[in-house]
Amino acid sequence: MKKPAAPFSARVLSVVRRIPPGRVATYGDVAAFAGKPRASRAVGNIMRECRRQDVPCHRVIAAGGRLGGYGGREALKRALLITEGVTVVGMRVRSLARFRWTPARKIAKGAN
DNA sequence: CTGCTGACTGGTA
DNA sequence: GTACCAGCCAGCA
């Protein structure tokens, strides 16, 4: 039983809002956490409209560690991630697996 | 309902 | 490395 009480967009916003600083999630991941692992495109569209502080859309990046887009301000997105502690080189995140976030935050520790 | 768009993804050349 | 194609999904006219 399952029923998406809230529309997909609301789910995506909820997921993104839970992303802590210093961590990032890909559009595909956010889509998967929202219930549609293939709705990465839809997630992007939703993020485009977001624009609110409640939702750290700058922590949502594309697959492969690529920053993706940011309303034409990818440079700002890159700067924000770096400021939060994410290692970014060029327009790409280094060691994405190390900064990748999961709702369960089972990412452990260790060297970090 | 149909059709187009787009902050995506993966594959092929 | 870049460029192009096809598949996928939500929102809107």
pLDDT attached to residue A49: 84
Assess contact for A61 and A26: CB atoms under 8 A: yes
- Strand duo A92-93 + A88-89: pairing: antiparallel
Q: What angle do CA A92, A22, A80 make, to 5 degrees?
A: 60
Neighbouring C-alpha atoms within 13 Å toward the C-beta of A91:
12
pLDDT tens across the length of chain A (112 residues):
666 667 899 999 999 999 999 999 999 999 999 999 999 999 999 999 877 778 999 999 999 999 999 988 999 999 999 999 999 999 999 999 999 999 886 655 555 4
Category of A43 on φ-ψ map: left (φ > 0), alpha (ψ -120 to 50) or beta: alpha
Active site residues of A: 57
Q: Cβ of residue A65 near strand B, that is under 7 Å?
A: no
Q: Cβ of residue A46 near strand C, that is under 7 Å?
A: yes
pLDDT attached to residue A112: 47
